[in-house]
Each structure stands twice: as C-alpha cells, then as structure tokens.
Amino acid sequence: MVQPKEKRVTNSGGDEERWITSVGIDIGTSTTKMIVSRLKLVRTSSALSLPRYGIAERLLSYESPIYSTPLKSTDEVDAERIWQLLEREYASAGITPRDLKSGAVIITGETANKKNARHILHLLAERSGDFVVATAGADLEGLLAGKGAGAEERSKQTRGAVANIDVGGGTANAAVFLRGRPIGTVTFHVGGRLIQVGRDGTVEAVSPSLRPWLQACGFRLEAGHKADFALLHEICEAMSRDMLDYLAGYAGADGASLSALLLGDPLVPMPAIEEWTFSGGVGELMDARKPMSLAETAAHGDVGPLLAHALKEQALRYSAIRFGRPEQTVRATVIGAGMQTTEISGATVHLDASLLPLRNLPVLKAELTPALLWQPEALSDSLRQIMSQGANLFGRENSPPFVLALSGLGSAGYTEVQRVADGLVEGFRAYFPDSRVFAAICENDIAKALGQSLERRFGSSPKVVCIDQVQVELGDYVDLGEPISGVMVPVVVKTLAFNK
C-alpha cells in the first residue's frame, strides 16, 4: 500500500528532500497496465539559486494486472472502460487522483493510431491530475522501452553501443544507445501475433504487414492452412535472423526480404553494437520453457513462444555481441513522471506572449560543439538530422512539435549564431512546414540574439519562442507559462521515470 500524501523531510546533510506519488499508465496495442511509484526528489541547486529538483530514488508501490486494451471498434479505443479500469486500480492501490502530483499516460503501438487516441490522452490527464501525455509512435516507443529495459544506463557503464529490441505482438522496436545517448531507432514487422495459430496447427490469421516478407522468402502461409511445427520454427528462425543480421551490420536494407521486414526508415550509420537486450512480451517469453510441439507453441494462440526462442538462439550466434539481461521485459515502460520545481528563464528571451502558455512539450536536444559551429555544412547536416529525429519521435502534427534544447553555444559569436539560425530554419521548414510555432530553450544566455535571427528568416510564420538559462534533457517534458513582467518565463520540467 502506498503512502498517499506527499511528505517533506530534510535529511541530515541539510539537503531538502521530498517524496511524491506518481503513476504511469501504458495503453498498448494489446494490453493496458498501470504502475504507481514513489519518487524521491532531491534539491540539486544551491541555497542561493532557484530551487531545482532531480529524481534520486524510485520505489514501486503498486503494479496492476495486465489487461486487454478495451476497444469500441477496430479503430476506436473505449475511453470510458479504460477510465473505469483505472478507477478500480486506483482503489486497489489506495490512492485517488488528488494524491498524485504528477504522472504519465503513454499510448503506444497501433493504439496510438486509433482515431480517438488524442481524446483519450487528454481525458485521462484531466481526470487524473497534472500528467505528461503522449502518443508514442514506433520510434518513441522503442526509445522508452530501451530506457525502461536499462539499455541507456548499461551503455553508460560499458561506454559502448547497447541495443534494446522490444518485441511485442505486432512490431519489434529497436533503440541503440551509446554512452547514455540514443543514437538510432528502427522498427521491424516482427512480433508474436503476426501469425495466429491453433493448437492443431490451423493458421487462424496472418497479418497483412508480414505477407510481403513471407512472399519474399518463399513461404506460403494462409488462414485456414495447416502448418506443421517445423515450418513455423523455420519462419520464426528466418524472421529473427533477418532482423538481427541487419542490426549486427551483416546485411544491408536493400535486400528484398529485409526491406519487406523494415517499417519506416532504416538505421543511420552508427557504431557496431556490443550488447543487446530483449524486452516486451516476446522478450519475457525467452525465460519460459521452449515449446517443443504445436500445442505448446499455440499456448497464447500465436507463435510468440516459438519466436522468443528462435530470437534467443539466433542472438547467441553473434560472438562479437553480448547477450544482455534487461532490467525489465514486459513492463519496460514509464512508471511515472517526476515534476521538478518551476524554473524561471533568463531575462533575455524572445517571444510572442500571445503564444503562451504551452503545455506538455517534449524536449528534443541538440548538443553543439565549437568545432561544429565552424563547419557550416556539417552544422547544417547535423541540425537537419536532429529535425528528422524529432519528426520520427514526436510526429509532425503538433504545433510546436517539440521544444528544441540547444547546448554548446557558450562561445558562439555573431557569425556562429547566424549559422545555427540558418541550419535550424532550413531543417524545421523541411520537416515541419505546417507548424505555426518554433520553440527553443538555450542553455546559455543567448536566446534574444538567436530568437531575432530566427524570426528574420522565418518571417510571419512560424512564430518564435526562444528562452534561455533552463536545463532540460531529451525525454523531459516542459510547460512554458505566461511571462512574468513580460520578459521572464516560468518553466515546469517533468522527467519521465523508469523502474530501477
């Protein structure tokens, strides 16, 4: 049972601590689950500065059962039934929405594409408290799963490239981290529910998304056919080998079978993977007994158990890549969000006050270097790549789609600022031509100069919000409040929390 009310204590070292109750709600393609956590926030700023808190400890207080996601139809989620489900789970956890200081509602997988996904997010957020709300496409889902599975932390420890492959019912979302930073995501049509099968081998359904790959590989599999154990094993093995060969750098994306297996853009060039982990429902099945018959394969009505062990066997073939253990498998999702105390931007901001407030903006980060600032072409390529990453992670519909956090501009003079403005405008227009607002946070005291430079280039649209002296990271969400005295902006930073 959780302690439902926030408590405030001061430890022996004099650093102010406080605990908050937070909740993470994951509404996925097949399943919905909720996790309640207690987060210890510790003040990280000095006594003479504005208060700033970081998450120092995470305690899991309650985990709901895993429910089938209720649907009204094939393209509409049943929002009221989800809320009723969550009300029961709140009661079981011993909390009410009033007890929650912060949280996160993430809609993932195919559910993110349902026509009422955005309505559900905001309905749940309004009834539950001040939440981060997000619909996660394949790239963001892979990134969140990689963080939850511990791949991000693991890459900090090993100082090498670590990939987490989150394999669910319909897709496998891979995210690669290097020294604690995400450097690439890619999605495959690989999942346990793509082939649904009965205990006697009768094929009940084959997902349309898998048919091109089956055809390219010469497999004939149709609903109503009888499949034997050897054929299903061969298909799972080939599917696993194609995906892992590509991630390991042994195969390019130009092959017919692999191009049919890829969903979205291929990987950008990146360092060789040194370790991989597997999360998601299929990742969890790797620890179960290997199926040895059709009846054991069809325990869940699909090829998930067989795919899990085919993946494990294939992954162990690569002697240069360690087979790691994820910290979480089926629950490799957010457990909540820690809300940090409101910060105040610097006074040298550039904004149109009528655009504020802006809430729940995801943070995209561009880390620039002095060397990059002096190479116009490389700088332009880098900023364009960051905009591409933003489009993949957060989509192109919202306006603004994200707030761009810029670091490394401390030594920038007039010429370098103009180069950065050129690159930002070019990249933003290419990927977000319909956005009416461009939002940026500068780590250094340079927002006014950069904002004016951006506005001269953008013209009347998009309008520019550019503030400074606020520290945020990729994966944070922020609220930008209405200006104070017309020149300073209050900023609430919300950091997604994962189980440790």
Distance between alpha carbon 33 and the CA centroid of its chain, in Å? 17
Q: Which residues pair with 38 in a beta bridge?
A: 21, 59
With both helix axes pointing from N to C terminus, report the angle between 138-149 and 151-158 in degrees, rounded to the nearest 10.
60
Q: Mapped to the 3 state alphabet, what secondary structure does the chain carry?
A: CCCCCCEEEECCCCCEEEEEEEEEEEECCCEEEEEEEEEEEEECCCCCCCCCEEEEEEEEEEECCCEECCEEECCEECHHHHHHHHHHHHHHHCCCHHHCCEEEEEECHHHHHCCCHHHHHHHHHHHHCCEEEEECCHHHHHHHHHHHHCHHHHHHHHCCEEEEEEECCCCEEEEEEECCEEEEEEEECCCHHHEEECCCCEEEEECCCCHHHHHHHCCCCCCCCECCHHHHHHHHHHHHHHHHHHHCCCCCCCCHHHHHHEECCCCCCCCCEEEEEEEHHHHHHCCCCCCCCHHHHHHHCECHHHHHHHHHHHHCCCCCCEECCCCCCCCCCEEEEEECCCEECCCCCECCHHHCCEEEEEEEEEECCHHHHCCHHHHHHHHHHHHHHHHHHHCCCCCCCCEEEEECCCCCCHHHHHHHHHHHHHHHHHHCCCCCEEEEEECCCCHHHHHHHHHHHHCCCCEEEEEECCCCCCCEEEEECCCECCCECEEEEEEEEECC
Q: Which residues pair with 76 in a beta bridge?
A: 73
Q: Where in the chain are the domains?
A: 18-135, 140-330, 340-495
Query: 422: closest CA among 373, 470, 350?
Result: 373
Do domains 18-135 and 140-330 share one topology? The answer is yes
Q: Which residues, in sequence order, are CB contacts of 329 under 8 Å at separation 6+?
A: 149, 278, 279, 280, 281, 283, 284
- What phi and psi values does residue 254 have, to the nearest 5 degrees? -90, -10
Q: For residue range 24-39, what is the model confidence (pLDDT) as tens digits?
A: 888 876 778 888 888 8
The b-or-e profile of 369-406 (16+ CB within 10 A means b, else e) is eeebbeeeeebbebbbebbebbbbbbbeebebbbbbbb
pLDDT value at position 335?
62
Residues with pLDDT less than 50, the chain = 1-14
The span from the CA of 149 to the CA of 100, in Å, is 25
* 140-330 CATH choice from 1.10.3470, 3.40.50, 3.30.420, 2.40.320: 3.30.420
In this structure, the number of other CB atoms found within 10 A of the CB of residue 183 comes to: 18
Give CATH for domain 18-135: 3.30.420.40
Q: For residue range 400-446, what is the model confidence (pLDDT) as tens digits?
A: 999 999 998 887 889 999 999 999 999 999 999 999 999 999 988 88
The span from the CA of 399 to the CA of 438, in Å, is 8
Q: Which residues, in sequence order, are CB contacts of 168 under 8 Å at separation 6+?
A: 28, 29, 30, 109, 191, 192, 280, 281, 282
Report yes or no: 138 and 173 within 8 Å, Cβ to Cβ.
yes
Residue 186's identity, in one-letter code, is V
How do strand 172-178 and strand 403-407 relate by DSSP bridges?
unpaired
Instruction: Please state which architecture CATH assigns to domain 340-495.
Output: 3-Layer(bba) Sandwich (3.50)
pLDDT value at position 405?
95
Report yes or no: 324 and 163 within 8 Å, Cβ to Cβ.
no
pLDDT value at position 411?
79
Report yes or no: 24 and 334 within 8 Å, Cβ to Cβ.
yes
